[in-house]
């Protein structure tokens, strides 16, 4: 009976919020200003985050070049610092699978983890590789740099010794090639979004290809897969018979997985609330759209779950590898908190917006 009531109420809402053209395309009948929402997200969230990331990539590339020129403890520390700084900003842009970012599979070149170490070592040994090839997506980006900075030996002394040997030249070359790939893709993606900004903010139709529908779907997909599953569920063993701590983000440095996850959650909250990238101002977000549709209940529930997720994640070890090894129950409980928001976003919010899911759910809700 409950499912029938839910379906009937959803049907009534669909009739209220949309009408159809002769071709069957849904026309938005509510009077919410979708374009202003997109303008705020584009101008105050996406573009500032892209600009910051572009600058951080410049710094990362420069520190990598300095380290490969002179591998010493000071330069290793500086390289690690710029890597983590850029990695934190990356958490704010990974969800935006827009334009060239989608076409070039930007996120798959930048942050596929766990890293396939054998592929990295084979590439370095062979000296011949194509980082544009999909088979090398798990051998580049931030995870590859994590390994090359922190995982190729057990101590800093041994790491530096490896780079200062004659055979270290191949490792240095690989670092530079990975950095060049990351920087080149970043420049293309940022330039592309700047060029398409105007068409992005006016693409408000209710169809599968409109910017607003794709943005909302990408947002939910990132929350469900990039944040909930990749950062928590998979390494905690939610989808496997045993925990897999080696699959955490930032595995080799082993001190920043919580920090990266908190950045990602902040990015998700900012978009929902319409808060600027630097959190200094609040504009129009998904919450405002829901309120306009007379669904403050959904807003309150999502906001409450975000707050609970923030508290729960903050109580975890800074290393998710150690957290899983010593107390995986806390990790799986955090996943459960995040999971509750998936239902609110993917079912309640999408039904209110009358937007269909545009991706295949691989692990269930």
Tens-digit pLDDT profile for residues 242-292: 999 999 999 999 999 999 999 999 999 999 999 999 989 999 999 999 999
What's the 3-state SS for 38-62?
HHHHHHHHHHHHHHHHHHHHHHHHH
| Cα gap 80→246, rounded to integer Å | 20
| Cα gap 352→8, rounded to integer Å | 13
Kindly tell me the burial class for residue 251, based on how many C-beta atoms sit within 10 Å of its own C-beta (0-12, 13-18, 19 or more): buried
pLDDT at residue number 28? 57
| Cα gap 221→200, rounded to integer Å | 19
CATH topology identical between 54-195 and 207-365: yes
| Cα gap 212→94, rounded to integer Å | 17
Dihedral, CA atoms, 154, 155, 161, 163, nearest 10 degrees? 70
Q: Which residues of the chain have pLDDT under 70?
A: 1-29, 361-365
CATH topology of domain 207-365: A middle domain of Talin 1 (1.20.1420)
| Cα gap 312→294, rounded to integer Å | 30
Q: Where are the domains of the chain?
A: 1-30, 54-195, 207-365
Q: What percent of the chain stands above pLDDT 90?
A: 88
Tens-digit pLDDT profile for residues 176-222: 999 999 999 999 999 999 999 999 999 999 998 999 999 999 999 99
pTM for the structure as a whole:
0.91
Q: Which CATH superfamily is domain 54-195 in?
A: M75 peptidase, HXXE motif (1.20.1420.20)
């Amino acid at each position: 009976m409950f499912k029938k009531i839910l379906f009937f109420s959803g049907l009534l809402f669909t009739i209220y919020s949309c009408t159809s053209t002769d071709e069957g395309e849904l026309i938005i009948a509510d009077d919410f200003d979708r374009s202003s929402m997109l303008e705020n997200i584009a101008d105050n969230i996406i573009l500032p985050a892209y600009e910051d990331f572009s600058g951080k990539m410049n710094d990362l590339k420069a520190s990598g070049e300095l380290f490969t020129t002179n591998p010493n403890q000071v330069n290793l520390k500086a390289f690690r610092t710029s890597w983590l700084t850029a990695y934190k900003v990356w958490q704010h842009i990974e969800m935006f699978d827009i334009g060239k970012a989608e076409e070039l599979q930007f996120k798959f070149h930048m942050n596929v983890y766990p890293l396939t170490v054998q592929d990295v070592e084979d590439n370095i040994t062979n000296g011949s590789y194509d980082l544009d090839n999909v088979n090398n997506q798990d051998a580049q980006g931030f995870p590859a740099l994590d390994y090359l900075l922190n995982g190729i030996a057990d101590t800093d002394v041994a790491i530096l010794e490896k780079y200062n040997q004659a055979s270290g030249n191949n490792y240095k070359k690989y670092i530079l090639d990975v950095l060049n790939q990351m920087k080149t893709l970043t420049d293309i993606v940022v330039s592309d979004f700047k060029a398409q900004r105007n068409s992005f903010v006016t693409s408000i139709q209710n169809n599968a290809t409109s910017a607003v529908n794709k943005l909302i779907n990408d947002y939910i997909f990132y929350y469900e897969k990039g944040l909930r599953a990749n950062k928590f569920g998979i390494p905690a063993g939610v989808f496997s018979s045993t925990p897999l701590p080696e699959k955490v983000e930032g595995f080799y440095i082993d001190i920043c997985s919580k920090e990266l996850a908190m950045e990602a959650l902040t990015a998700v909250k900012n978009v929902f609330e319409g808060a600027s990238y630097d959190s200094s101002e609040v504009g129009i977000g998904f919450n405002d759209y829901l309120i306009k549709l007379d669904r403050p209940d959904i807003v309150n529930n999502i906001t409450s779950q975000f707050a609970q997720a923030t508290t729960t994640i903050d109580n975890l070890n800074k290393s998710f590898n150690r957290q899983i090894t010593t107390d995986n129950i806390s990790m799986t409980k955090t996943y459960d908190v995040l999971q509750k928001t998936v239902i609110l976003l993917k079912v309640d919010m999408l039904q209110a917006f009358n937007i269909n899911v545009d991706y295949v759910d691989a692990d269930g809700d």
